[in-house]
A and B are shown apart, each in its own frame.
Chain A
Amino acid sequence: MKKINYVILIIMIPGSLRLNAQNTIFLSHGRIEYERKVNLWAQIDDEDDNEWKDIQKKTVPKFKSTYFDLSFSNNKTLYQPGRENPDNNRLWQGPAEDNIVFTDLETQQVTSSKNVFEQRFLVQDSVRKIKWKITDEKRTIAGFDCRRANGLFMDSIYIVAFYTDEIIISSGPESFSGLPGMILGIAIPHEHITWFATKVYADEVPASSLIAPKKGKKVTNAAMLTQLSDALKDWGRWGKRYIKAAML
C-alpha cells in the first residue's frame, strides 16, 4: 500500500459510502429520466440590445423544461420524449425538441428521428466523435457519483458532461456518448441548454422495446447540415442556434 503513489481527487459524502466492494452494483439495463432545461431569457439576452427583449421575456418563463426517457440494455439505448410538461403548451416548440435517438453501440450506429420545422428527418449515421477531456471534478446526479468531462462537439461546440461508471453502457442523452459510462448530465453552456437525470430506474428493458425509429426523410448528419445551412442562411443568430439544436 505504501509503495503505491496516487492522486486523491475528491473527498466524498460519507453518507453514501458503500463499504463493501461486493455490493457495488453496475447497472447494465434500466431507464433514466432526463430534464432538458433551456434558459430562454439568456437566449433572448444574446440577441442585439433592444427594447423588444423586455416584452419577449414576459411571454416566456426563464427556464423551459421538457422530459425525456433513455432506456438502455444490451449495448442499445433509446432516447425519446417522456412525460409531458403542461407549462410548455403555450410555448413555441423549436426545432429538434422532441427527438427520438436510437444508438447501437455494437455497430456504432445512431438512428435519430428529428422534427426540424416542417420536416421529419431520419438521420442514420455512425456514433458522433466527440473530443472529450476528462477532469477531476465530481458531483452526484440522481444518486450516482459522476465525473466531469469537457468536450468539443462538431469541433466547435463546447459541452460539459457528467458521467457515471456505475452504469456500464457508454451512452447518454441525444447523441452524446463516448465516455466510460453513462452520461447523466450534460450542458451546452453557450447555448444555455442542460440535460440532467432526475431519476434512474433499474427496470427490465425488453429487447423488443429498443428499436430504431423508422419515420422521416433519410439523411446523414452531413446532408442535414447542408440542407439546414442553406435554408436558414438568412435567419441570423437564431438560424445558427436552430442549426446547432438540430445537429445535436
Chain B
Amino acid sequence: MKKLIATLTITFIACSIGYGQSGSISGTISDTSEKKLLSNSSVIILHKADSILFHFVRTDKSGNFLVKNIPYGKFIIVITYPKYADYIDTLNITDSSELSLGIIPLIQKAQLLKEVVVRQQISSIKIKGDTTEYTADSFKVQANANVEDLLKKLPGIQVDKNGQITAQGEKVQKVLVDGEEFFGDDPTLVTQNLRADMIDKVQVFDKKSDQATFTGIDDGQKQKTINLKLKEGKKDGYFGKLNASAGTNGYHDNQLMFNRFKNKQKFALYGIVSNTGTSGLTWRDQDNYGQSFASGLDYDQSTGYYTFNGSNDELDSWNGQYNGQGYPLVQTGGLHYNNKWNDDKQNLNLNYKIMQLNVTGASATNTQTILTDTSYYNNSRQNFTNSILRNRVNGSYEFQIDSNSSIKLNADGGIDHKITNSIDSSEARASDSSLVNQGFNKTNTTGDNRVVNSNLIWRKKLKKKGRTVSFNLRENYTSNNSSGYLYADNYFYTEGSLSQSQLTDQYKSNHSENLLLDSRFTYTEPLTKVSSLIFNYGVVVNNSNSTVNSFNKDNTGKYTQLDSIYSNDYIFNIFTNRGGINYSLFQKKLKFNIGTDAGFTNFNQKNEINDSAAHRNFVNWYPKAFLQYQFTQYRRLSLRYNGHTQQPSIDQIQPVLKNNDPLNIEVGNPDLKPSFSNDLSLNFSDWKMLNERSIWFGINYSFIQNNISSSYYVDSFNRKINKAVNLNGDKSLSVYLDYGFKLKKIDTRLGFNGNINYNENLSIVNNILNTTSSGSYTFGININKSKEKKYDLNLSGSATYTNSQSSIQSGIETKYWTFDINPNFDVFLPLKFQVHSDCDFSIRQKTPVFNSNTNVIRWNAWLGKKFLKNDALVIKIIGNDLLDQNIGFNRSVNSNFISQNTYSTIRRYFLLGITWNFSKAGTKIPGQNE
C-alpha cells in the first residue's frame, strides 16, 4: 500500500491462434475484506487511446462477467461498484482466446480512508464577507491557457490531476460561468473552449443548497462554489456609411452615418441632405446610427404587455421617407450617445436631432357636397411653400436597482419653428353647373411648437412571488404659438349672377397650451399560482388653454381692431380620479382577464372673454375583458372587449369661429360630453412553420356613444359651418383574412387576403340627422419566388370596391373600383451586378364627379454593382418614375362630403449614386450579412 497511486499494465503475449480479429475476457469481482462476490458490478471497457467507451456489462449473481467480441487493441478496464473504489487496469487484446482475469478484488472506500491520509492545504487567504474574489488578470498564465490553469495559480485553490477543484480546503461542488453551471469542455471532443483570458473575475463562495434556494428554508447545507465572471467582449471600433448621389433636374440624395463604439459606449451621428424624399434614418439604420426603437419599449412582467414610450414625431417614419405632399428638401442631422455600466444595471441614451425641411407643391381638390335637395361641386387649387426647422432632444435612463426593483425614465423635448404660405383659388357649382361661389385665399403663418414629454416607471417585486407594485407618471406638455395673415376674397352667386362678396383681411395670433399629468399606482396580488388581482389608482390632470385673436385693419392699414366673432380666450381643465380592479388568469392554454376602472371626471371651463364658467361632472367607465385560448403554440383564438372614454379637446370645446377658410368655418361646442367607445374584436391565427402555411383572421366591431361628431350647416352659396356635437350610434365593422402558403413543388409562396370595412357615421346636415354608410371591400393576392443570392420575384395585386351613401339623399350613391398591381424583382447577376425593378399600376375608376384620368404607372428601377471586399462599395444608377406619370392621390368620404385630392409629388429623375460602407479593420457591422 505504500505505492498507493499507480497503474498496473498487464501485457499479454500474442499467440495468434485461430481466426477472427476479436477476443474476450472474463473474471469475477469480489470484496476482499468481506470475502463476498459482488453482483451487479459494472465492468467497463474503454479504448486506451482516447478513453472512449467501447462496451460495458454487469456481473451476474456470483460476481462473474464475460465480455466477448473485443477487437484486437489496447483497452482500459474499469470496474465500479457503489461505495467501492474503482479498479482500473489496461488490457491488450491480441488473441482470440478467452482471457481470464481471475478474481478481481474491490476495496470499500471506507476501508481505504483508514489507510489514506488526505493532505489538504488550507489556504491562508482571508475571506471577506462570504465571497473571495480573484481578479483573473493579476495572475499570469500562458496564452491559450484554460480555466484549470488559471485556477491552479490562485492561492487557496488546488486542482488535482483529475480536475477536481478544492477551494479553501473544501471540495468545490459546482463551477458556474456567469451563474450558469460550467461543465468544462473536453478538448478531445469539442474545439470550443473557455480560455483563461476570457475570465474577468473568479468568485469563491458558499452557495445554499438548491433545496434551500427553492424553498427559502435554509437547511444549513452549503456548497463550495466557484463563479467565473466573463469579461465583456472587448470592443473598440467604428463603422459607417457614406452615400452620395446626384442626378437630373438637380436631384440629389446624400447621407453620412458614423458609429464609434468602445465596449459598452456607443456614439453615433448622421447627416442627410436630400430632395428625393429621404428625411431620416430607416428603421434598420436607426439601430446602428441612432437610438434603437427597442430602447423605447417597455415590458411589464405582471401583465405581459409592451408599451412604447419613444417620442412620436410625424416626420419620423419607419422607412425614413417623407410621406407628405409636395417636393421636400431635407437637411437633417443627429447625434446619439448610449452607455451601459455597473454590470449593465444602468443604461443611458441621449439623442439630439435637427432638421430643416422645405416643401413646395401644388394640390387640387374636388369635393361633392350632398344635401337633401341638391348637390354642390367644389374645385379648388392650392400652391404652398412650407418650411420647418425642428430641434429635438430625447433620452432615457434605466436603473436596475436590484433584482427586484427597477426605474426607467424617458424624456423628450423640442422646438419646431414652422412657416407656411399658401395660395388657394376655388369655385363651386350647383348640380345644374351654375356658379355658386368663387374664392381667392392667401395665408401666411409663422409658428413655434414646443413639446416636453416624460415618462417615469418604477417597479418592485415584493417578497411573495407574483406580488408587485409599480408607479407610473406620464407628463406631456405642448405649447403652440402662431401668428399670420389671412386674406380671402370670396364672391357668391345666385342663379349664376353675383349677389354678394366678402373680403376677409385679418392678422391672427393664436396661443395654446396643454399639460397632461397622468399618475398611476398599481398593485398586483397573486390569488393562486395562475391568477391574480390587479388594483390601480391614479390622478389625471389635463389642463388646456387657448387664445385665438383675429384683428381687422383699421383706417391706417394696421391690424389693430379685434374681431370678437373670431377671437376668444378659453380655459379647459379636466381633473380625473381614476381607480379600478382587474382579475387575471393565465393558464397554459387559457388566458383571461376582466375588470374595469371608474373615473370621476370634473370639467372646469372658463371663457375669459365673457367671464362665463361651467363646471361639469362625469362618471367614466373603462371596462375591459380579454379571453385567449391557445389550442397549440401555433393556433390561437382571442376575444377582446375594450370600453374607453375619450375627452373632448379644447379645439372641439372652444366656442369661437375659425375662419382660416371662410368657406369652411369651424366652431367649438362648450357643451360637449365625453364620448364612450365599445370595441369588440375576435382574432384567430394558425401558423404552420414546417408547412409554411399561415392563416390570420380578425373581426373588429365598434360602436360609439356620444361620439364627437359634426353638425354642418351649408347655405345656398355652399358656405359651410361645422360645429362639434355629440351624436349616438356611430358604428364600424372590419373583417380581414390573410391566407398564405407555399407551393413546395415550384418553391413559390402564395398569399390571399381579403378586407371588409363598413362604417356608419352620423352627422347633422342642415338640421337633419344624416347617416353615411360607406364600405370598402378589398381582395388581394401576392406571389413570391426567391432564391438566395440569385433572384427575388414578387407580384402582388389588389382590387377594391368602395361605395358610400348618405341618408339625406339616398338617390346618390358613390361607387368605384380601384386596382393596384405591383410586379417587383431583384436579380443578382454575375460580376456582382444587381438589377432591381418595382412597379405600381394604379387604376382608379372614374365617377361622375371624379372624371379626370388618374391612372398611373409608377416604375422605379436601379442597376448596381458591388466592389471591394465584403461588397463595401456599391455604385448604382437609379431611375425613379421612369414613365414620368406619378401623381399624389387621395379619395375620401367624410359624412356627406366626398372628395378627391391630387397633389404634386416627385416624378421622373435619374441618379448616379455611390454607397460606401466603411469600418475599422475587423469590425463587424451589425445587421449586415457577412
| B162 interface residue (CB < 8 Å to A) | yes
Smallest CB-CB separation from B104: which chain A residue? A4
| A160 interface residue (CB < 8 Å to B) | yes
Does the CB pair B295–A187 fall under 8 Å? no
Does the CB pair A17–B1 fall under 8 Å? no
Does the CB pair B88–A117 fall under 8 Å? no
Residues of A contacting B164 with CB < 8 Å?
10, 137
B773 to chain A, nearest CB (A): 41
Does the CB pair B689–A231 fall under 8 Å? yes
Q: Which single member of A19, A89, A139, A168 contacts B173 (CB below 8 Å)?
A: A139
In the docked arrangement, what's the CA distance between A187 and B591, Å? 33
Given A5-B7, A19-B110, A62-B179, A231–B80 Cβ distance below 8 Å?
A: no
In A108-135, the 8 Å CB interface with B consists of 115-119, 131-135
Given A1-B105, A150-B189, A228–B690 Cβ distance below 8 Å?
A: yes
| B873 interface residue (CB < 8 Å to A) | no
Residues of A contacting B634 with CB < 8 Å?
117-118
Does the CB pair A7–B80 fall under 8 Å? no
| A77 interface residue (CB < 8 Å to B) | no
Given A52-B294, A136-B162, A118–B926 Cβ distance below 8 Å?
A: no
In the docked arrangement, what's the CA distance between A92 and B304, Å? 12
In the docked arrangement, what's the CA distance between A150 and B185, Å? 9
Does the CB pair B189–A134 fall under 8 Å? no
Smallest CB-CB separation from A166: which chain B residue? B82
Smallest CB-CB separation from B211: which chain A residue? A198
In A64-108, the 8 Å CB interface with B consists of 84, 86, 88-90, 92-93
Q: Which single member of B8, B189, B304, B633 contacts A90 (CB below 8 Å)?
A: B304
Given A119-B690, A180-B42, A192-B180, A165–B108 Cβ distance below 8 Å?
A: no
Residues of B contacting A115 with CB < 8 Å?
632
Does the CB pair A165–B8 fall under 8 Å? no
Q: Which single member of A22, A59, A92, A164 contacts B633 (CB below 8 Å)?
A: A92
Does the CB pair A50–B85 fall under 8 Å? no
Q: Which single member of B83, B192, B690 contacts A227 (CB below 8 Å)?
A: B690
In the docked arrangement, what's the CA distance between A202 and B223, Å? 27
Does the CB pair B36–A8 fall under 8 Å? no
Residues of A contacting B926 with CB < 8 Å?
48-50
Q: Which single member of A24, A49, A59, A149 contacts B53 (CB below 8 Å)?
A: A149
Q: Which single member of A6, A20, A49 contacts B86 (CB below 8 Å)?
A: A6
Does the CB pair A59–B299 fall under 8 Å? yes
| B746 interface residue (CB < 8 Å to A) | no
Residues of A contacting B36 with CB < 8 Å?
21-22
Smallest CB-CB separation from B530: which chain A residue? A86
| B19 interface residue (CB < 8 Å to A) | no
At the interface with chain A, which of B44-52, B556-564, B571-579, B891-899?
B44-52
B239 to chain A, nearest CB (A): 13
B151 to chain A, nearest CB (A): 15
Residues of B contacting A14 with CB < 8 Å?
110, 113
Does the CB pair B4–A8 fall under 8 Å? yes
Given A17-B109, A145-B82, A134–B51 Cβ distance below 8 Å?
A: yes
In B876-908, the 8 Å CB interface with A consists of none
Q: Which single member of A24, A50, A136 contacts B292 (CB below 8 Å)?
A: A50
Given A118-B634, A139-B173, A149-B53, A24–B81 Cβ distance below 8 Å?
A: yes
| A151 interface residue (CB < 8 Å to B) | yes
Smallest CB-CB separation from B744: which chain A residue? A230
Contact with B along A173-201 (1 / 0, CB 8 A): 00000111100000101101010000000
Smallest CB-CB separation from A18: which chain B residue? B83
B772 to chain A, nearest CB (A): 43
Smallest CB-CB separation from A7: which chain B residue? B88
A120 to chain B, nearest CB (A): 10
In the docked arrangement, what's the CA distance between A10 and B4, Å? 13
Residues of A contacting B105 with CB < 8 Å?
1, 4
In the docked arrangement, what's the CA distance between A23 and B831, Å? 77
| A39 interface residue (CB < 8 Å to B) | yes
| B6 interface residue (CB < 8 Å to A) | yes
Q: Which single member of B162, B181, B292, B927 contacts A9 (CB below 8 Å)?
A: B162
Does the CB pair A158–B186 fall under 8 Å? yes
In the docked arrangement, what's the CA distance between A166 and B83, Å? 10
In the docked arrangement, what's the CA distance between A158 and B586, Å? 37
Does the CB pair B82–A8 fall under 8 Å? no
Does the CB pair B116–A11 fall under 8 Å? yes
How many chain A residues have a CB neighbour from B under 8 Å?
A: 78
| A154 interface residue (CB < 8 Å to B) | no
In the docked arrangement, what's the CA distance between A180 and B182, Å? 24
Smallest CB-CB separation from B86: which chain A residue? A9
Smallest CB-CB separation from A24: which chain B residue? B82
Given A4-B105, A55-B299, A187-B181, A17–B690 Cβ distance below 8 Å?
A: no
Residues of B contacting A147 with CB < 8 Å?
80
A47 to chain B, nearest CB (A): 11
Q: Which single member of A89, A118, A158, A166 contacts B588 (CB below 8 Å)?
A: A89
In the docked arrangement, what's the CA distance between A130 and B85, Å? 26
| A42 interface residue (CB < 8 Å to B) | yes
In the docked arrangement, what's the CA distance between A11 and B184, Å? 21
Contact with A along B107-134 (1 / 0, CB 8 A): 1111011001010000000000000000
Given A89-B586, A90-B586, A24–B689 Cβ distance below 8 Å?
A: no
Does the CB pair B294–A168 fall under 8 Å? no
Residue among A39, A93, A180 with most chain B CB within 10 A = A180
Smallest CB-CB separation from B173: which chain A residue? A139
Residues of B contacting A117 with CB < 8 Å?
633-634, 688-690
Does the CB pair A194–B587 fall under 8 Å? no
Does the CB pair B44–A134 fall under 8 Å? yes
Does the CB pair B52–A168 fall under 8 Å? no
Residue among B6, B162, B182, B690 with most chain A CB within 10 A = B690
Residues of A contacting B34 with CB < 8 Å?
20-21
B926 to chain A, nearest CB (A): 6
Q: Which single member of A20, A59, A89, A132 contacts B587 (CB below 8 Å)?
A: A89
Does the CB pair B83–A24 fall under 8 Å? yes
Smallest CB-CB separation from B58: which chain A residue? A168
Contact with A along B530-547 (1 / 0, CB 8 A): 100000000000000000
Q: Which single member of A6, A84, A231 contacts B692 (CB below 8 Å)?
A: A231
In B564-586, the 8 Å CB interface with A consists of 586
In the docked arrangement, what's the CA distance between A247 and B137, Å? 40
In the docked arrangement, what's the CA distance between A55 and B7, Å? 56
Residues of A contacting B44 with CB < 8 Å?
134, 180
In B261-312, the 8 Å CB interface with A consists of 287, 292, 294-295, 297, 299, 301, 304
A39 to chain B, nearest CB (A): 5
| B687 interface residue (CB < 8 Å to A) | yes
Residues of B contacting A62 with CB < 8 Å?
179
Residues of A contacting B301 with CB < 8 Å?
58-59
In B588-606, the 8 Å CB interface with A consists of 588, 591
In the docked arrangement, what's the CA distance between A73 and B88, Å? 30
Residues of A contacting B53 with CB < 8 Å?
131-134, 149, 178-179
B899 to chain A, nearest CB (A): 42
Residues of A contacting B463 with CB < 8 Å?
none
Residues of A contacting B88 with CB < 8 Å?
6-7
Task: Supply 12 further A-B pairs (C-beta < 8 A) apart from A18-B83, A133-B51, A134-B78.
Answer: A21-B81, A24-B83, A86-B530, A89-B587, A92-B633, A118-B634, A118-B688, A132-B52, A135-B163, A145-B83, A178-B53, A189-B185
A and B contact pairs by CB, cutoff 8 A, 18 listed: A6-B88, A7-B5, A8-B5, A22-B36, A48-B927, A49-B233, A51-B287, A51-B292, A52-B294, A89-B588, A117-B688, A131-B52, A151-B189, A152-B189, A165-B81, A180-B42, A180-B44, A189-B185
Using a CB–CB cutoff of 8 Å, the interface residues on chain B facing chain A are 1, 3-8, 31-32, 34, 36, 38, 40, 42-44, 46, 50-53, 56, 58, 78, 80-88, 105, 107-110, 112-113, 116, 118, 162-164, 173, 178-186, 188-190, 192, 233, 287, 292, 294-295, 297, 299, 301, 304, 338, 344, 347, 529-530, 586-588, 591, 632-635, 687-692, 926-927
List the 4 closest A-B pairs by CB distance, nearest first: A51-B292, A180-B56, A132-B53, A117-B689
